[in-house]
């Protein structure tokens, strides 16, 4: 019997389909995992922006996680939009209760359109409660700056930010440098080893959901048994393929083509190895 990695995404819904739960489930499926979800918020969203947010009760977020963990099981999980402190507290509680590992924390604070997706007190809760439980945390430049309290504008500053964020408790920190000028570079650090992950820049404005896709791909790799560096490199290849096939949909920043990640799909043997 073939074994498929069971990957849980704990995040917000994007009605436009390009980011959030929708991007995560497309990514997990395209890469050969089995995707499950705990929805933290509903957003009225498209390529132009976020037009409304309806937050799910913390109790129901917890119930969704319980339902999945107690029956299907979880080989890895990732978090995305966690709108308020109570939701962060609930997620951290369930991660501990169900011993959910590996855990990828994507500290989603602001949508690509600039709309805030996290209350101020939720950011503090994420630092205090969730980062110490994380296998990998994946901030972009602005999120890294918020987490470490220093400007993050260069590769050397990314490395220092990763070192500081590592002191908050996660095992690994991946600072994403897609917003830098020139060739995009990400910095991955476990506090001792620091490596750069580089790919050629894809000339497209259709990048909606890139961060969600990257984190979900990393979680899928970890759920399949990869090491963190292996999962990050593999996930970055998948994101590169999705960016190269990015779709011109809508009047704003269009989505990635998650189907283009298929060549990176996990290979399964008949015995599940």
For position 2, what pLDDT does the model report? 59
Query: Which burial class, exposed, middle or buried, applies to 249 when counting CB atoms under 10 A from its CB (0-12, 13-18, 19+)?
Result: middle
The residues of the chain scoring below 70 in pLDDT are 1-2, 111-114, 269-273
Q: b or e along 34-53 (b: 16 or more beta carbons within 10 Å of the residue's beta carbon)?
A: bbbbbbbbbbebbbeebeeb
DSSP states of 88-118 as a string?
HHHHHHHHHHTT--SEEE----B-TTS-B-S
Distance CA 167, CA 56 (A): 31
For position 27, what pLDDT does the model report? 98
User: pTM (2 decimals)?
Assistant: 0.95
User: Which residues does the annotation mark as catalytic?
Assistant: 176, 207, 209-212
For position 111, what pLDDT does the model report? 66
For position 121, what pLDDT does the model report? 86
For position 110, what pLDDT does the model report? 72
For position 269, what pLDDT does the model report? 56
Task: List CB contacts of 23: < 8 A, sequence separation 6 or more.
Answer: 14, 17, 209, 212, 213, 216, 255, 256, 258
């Amino acid at each position: 019997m073939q074994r498929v990695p069971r990957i849980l995404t704990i995040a917000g819904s994007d009605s436009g389909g390009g980011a959030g739960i929708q991007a995560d489930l497309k990514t997990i499926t395209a890469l050969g995992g089995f995707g499950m979800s705990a929805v933290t918020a509903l957003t009225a969203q498209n390529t132009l922006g976020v037009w409304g947010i309806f937050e799910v009760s913390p109790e129901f977020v917890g119930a969704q996680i319980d339902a999945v963990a107690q029956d299907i099981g979880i080989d890895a999980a990732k978090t995305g939009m966690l709108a308020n402190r109570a939701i962060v507290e609930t997620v951290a509680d369930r991660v501990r209760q169900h011993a959910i590992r590996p855990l990828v924390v994507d500290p989603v604070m602001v949508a690509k359109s600039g709309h805030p997706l996290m209350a101020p007190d939720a950011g503090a809760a994420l630092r205090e409660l969730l980062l110490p439980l994380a296998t990998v945390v994946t901030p972009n430049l602005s999120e890294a700056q918020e987490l470490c309290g220093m400007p993050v504008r260069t590769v050397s500053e990314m490395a220092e930010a990763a070192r500081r964020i590592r002191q908050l408790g996660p095992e690994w920190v991946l600072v994403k440098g897609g917003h830098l000028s020139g060739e995009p570079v990400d910095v991955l650090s476990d506090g001792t080893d620091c490596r750069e992950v580089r790919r050629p820049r894809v000339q497209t404005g259709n990048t909606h959901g890139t961060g969600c896709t990257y984190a979900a791909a990393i979680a899928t790799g970890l759920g399949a048994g990869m090491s963190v560096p292996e999962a990050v490199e593999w996930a970055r290849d998948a994101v590169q393929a999705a960016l190269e096939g990015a779709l011109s949909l809508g009047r704003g920043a269009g989505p990635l083509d998650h189907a283009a990640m298929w060549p990176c799909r996990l290979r399964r043997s008949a015995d599940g190895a």
